[in-house]
Amino acid sequence: MFEDNDVSASKSKPRPAYVRMMEAVQRGAVTGVVVWDVDRLTRTPRELEDVIDFADRVGLRLASVGGDIDLGTEQGRMMARMKGTVARYEIEQSRRRLRAKHVELAASGRHNGPRPFGWDFREDRSLAINPAEAAVIRECVDRVLAGEGIWKICRDLNDRGILTSTGRPWVPQVLRRMVLRWRNCGVRTHNGKEAGEGQWEAVVDRETHERVVALLTDPARRSNNRGTAPKYLLTSVARCGECGKYVVGTNEHTYKLKSGRTRTFLHAYKCPHAGCMKVQRNMAEVDELVSGVVVGVLERNGVRLLGGDPVAAAQARDRVNALEAKLALAADQYAEDVITGDQMKRISERLRPQLEAERGRLMQSQPDPALASFTGADVAEAWERADVEVRKRIIRTLGMEVSIERVGSGNGRTFDPESVCISWADTREPDTQRSQ
């Protein structure tokens, strides 16, 4: 018996048992097939033609509960094709109705699907805030905006016994999707696009959510989903001055020499790439130099570099509010038959691109509260308290580029600050082109 449980004959999903059966037919091991009905065997006309071809070549017989179908005769093949065509029509009609239902649900702002983390189902399947889980969502959002790694948040939630809505431990991919979903700020989406306001209470405000989306979807963002903390400040940040590829940090290790003495190699940054491997520098000395430059830059100009632009943010927010008000007015006029559907469509097509552009400007000008401690007089203390992950984030936010240059033979034991070059990707610090 060949049986594919819970796999529809109408879907493109592979059916392992069906494939094995057809291979057995082709080998001649199977000469007859019994099915409940032809549309249970396949609802794809192309697959049905394959079955008919086998009937011609190897004499395959097909029987169903409703009676035998002789695929060797024109009448039998016609009946099989008719059944397949009718079944295909029913599938397409069902899919059309299902798509229409999903569009209707999205337009009404209703939730569709399993229980999402942060909400509970009411009796009518509408969503009500789950206070404990909503608090976890807000905590995760704050920690992401503070620069904390997704992996670290996952480990903390699991250690505290906080599980997903399905009762499973958190993994980075699931947590990332959770904090990125627009449902958190009360927005209903359909096919990845905003469909309107959801019929549930928001957990975070829209501006906060947009900042999260901008941060986690930034193409320049380098994520760490390994589940371990980054150990070295400049790994995958600093580049080799010879080949231009990233250097890596190495552990401290001790070798025993043939003479019986030991030699200890301290933590270092080195180029690991075949064909180069010409750069190696003491990690502590490089980190100290780079940290001094970062702290100096932040003490002089941290407010401008990390604080955002409150004036630009206020202007963008006013424009966003004005455009949203225009769209809301147009929706009310359409509902009251003051304007037609075509007029509503033209208004929407004109205003929505402007609205998205202003929202983008608002996100770009938003100050980052998580980095506020790196913009005042206590920058040095904040830098000392910060872990490696936060320090890496600040270096990348500053647009800082570090290159470790090769030194001549015999000069490697004495650290030369001139061998560590620091530049700025967008020239925000044009006077600091080389470490001093």
Beta strands in 198-331 (DSSP E): 239-240, 248-250, 253-256, 262-265, 268-270, 280-282
Q: Give me the mean pLDDT over the 319-344 stretch.
A: 89
Tokens at 408, concatenated: 């001549």
Instruction: Write the CB contacts of 187 (distance below 8 Å, at least 6 apart in sequence).
Output: 194, 196, 197, 198, 206
Q: Looking at per-residue confidence, does 147 or 327 come out higher? A: 327
Give me the amino acid identity at 237: V
Alpha carbon distance 213, 182 (integer Å): 9
pLDDT for the residue 194: 79
In this prediction, residue 178 has a pLDDT band, given cuts at 50, 70 and 90, of: very high
In this prediction, residue 370 has a pLDDT band, given cuts at 50, 70 and 90, of: low
pLDDT at 410 over 60: no
Do 81 and 39 touch, CB atoms closer than 8 A?
Answer: no
Q: Looking at per-residue confidence, does 310 or 299 come out higher? A: 299
The highest-level CATH class for domain 119-216 is: alpha beta
252-257: long-range contacts (C-beta < 8 A, 24 or more apart)? none
In this prediction, residue 416 has a pLDDT band, given cuts at 50, 70 and 90, of: confident
Tokens at 146, concatenated: 């503070």
pLDDT digits (tens, 9 = 90+) for 51-106: 777 777 777 776 766 555 665 567 777 777 777 677 667 777 777 877 777 777 67
Give me the amino acid identity at 263: R
Q: What is the DSSP letter of 246?
A: B
Measure Cα distances from 105 to 129, 202, 330, 334 in Å.
20, 18, 22, 20
Helices 74-108/45-58 angle, 10° precision: 160
pLDDT digits (tens, 9 = 90+) for 202-227: 999 998 898 888 888 876 565 555 55
DSSP code string of 74-130: HHHHHHHHHHHHHHHHHHHHHHHHHHHHHHHHHHHT---SSPPTTEEE-TTS-EEE-
Do 150 and 192 touch, CB atoms closer than 8 A?
Answer: no
Question: Kind of pairing, strands 280-282 and 248-250?
Answer: unpaired
Tokens at 254, concatenated: 């001790």
State the distance between the two ends of the chain, measured CA to CA, in whole angstroms. Answer: 78
- Token pair 């001055």 in the structure block, residue: 241
CA angle, residues 324, 326, 327, in degrees to nearest 5 = 65
In this prediction, residue 435 has a pLDDT band, given cuts at 50, 70 and 90, of: very low
Q: What is the pTM of this model?
A: 0.49
Instruction: Write the CB contacts of 123 (distance below 8 Å, at least 6 apart in sequence).
Output: none
pLDDT for the residue 214: 85
pLDDT for the residue 317: 85
Q: Give me the mean pLDDT over the 152-178 stretch.
A: 93
Chain-centroid distance, C-alpha 374 = 28
Q: What is the DSSP letter of 245?
A: P
In this prediction, residue 430 has a pLDDT band, given cuts at 50, 70 and 90, of: very low
Helix spans in 217-309 (H): 283-306
Domain spans, the chain: 16-108, 119-216, 239-306+372-424, 310-365
Measure Cα distances from 89 to 79, 98, 307, 324, 369 in Å.
15, 14, 60, 43, 57
Q: For residue 65, count CB atoms less than 10 angstroms from its CB and return exposed for 0-12, middle for 13-18, buried for 19 or more.
A: exposed
pLDDT for the residue 165: 93
Question: Kind of pairing, strands 187-190 and 193-197?
Answer: antiparallel
In this prediction, residue 414 has a pLDDT band, given cuts at 50, 70 and 90, of: confident
In this prediction, residue 119 has a pLDDT band, given cuts at 50, 70 and 90, of: very high
Which residue, 50, 38, 49, is CA-closest to 9?
38
Measure Cα distances from 243 to 194, 277, 290, 434 in Å.
45, 9, 21, 19
Q: What is the DSSP letter of 275?
A: T
- Token pair 């990707």 in the structure block, residue: 425
Q: Looking at per-residue confidence, does 264 or 179 come out higher? A: 179
pLDDT digits (tens, 9 = 90+) for 267-284: 899 999 888 988 888 999
Alpha carbon distance 58, 280 (integer Å): 70
pLDDT for the residue 431: 47
Tokens at 195, concatenated: 């469909």
Give me the amino acid identity at 108: S
pLDDT for the residue 195: 78
pLDDT for the residue 421: 93
In this prediction, residue 288 has a pLDDT band, given cuts at 50, 70 and 90, of: very high
pLDDT at 260 over 70: yes
pLDDT for the residue 432: 45
Helices (H) and strands (E) in the chain — how many of each? 13, 15
pLDDT for the residue 429: 52
Residues in the chain: 436
pLDDT at 309 over 80: no
pLDDT for the residue 426: 60
pLDDT for the residue 434: 41
φ, ψ (nearest 5 deg) of residue 318: -65, -40
